[in-house]
Amino acid sequence: MAAFRLFEGRLTNMEGYIRVENGNINVSYYTDHEKLLLKQNFENLAEKLISEGINPRISWLFDFILDLGFK
């Protein structure tokens, strides 16, 4: 529940776009990520999860991988 609150409170009010390609859901955000330290924590999230031995695929979302980008 805490992770949902973080997402709901921080990421839902930011400008950006979403596209689905090659088994990934790519979400790119344009503003506010510096002051929230989002880039350093969420960029390359799939690679970070894999390095920790965690499967980055979202089972309830057709096994897509969520890829967050910040510009």
Q: Can you tell me whether residue 31 is helix, strand or coil?
A: coil
The total number of structural domains in the chain stands at 1
Q: Where are the beta strands (DSSP E) in 1-71?
A: 16-21, 24-29, 57-58, 64-70
Which of the residues in the chain have pLDDT under 70?
A: 1-13, 32-36
- Residue ranges making up the domain that contains 9: 2-70
What CATH number is associated with residue 18? 3.30.70
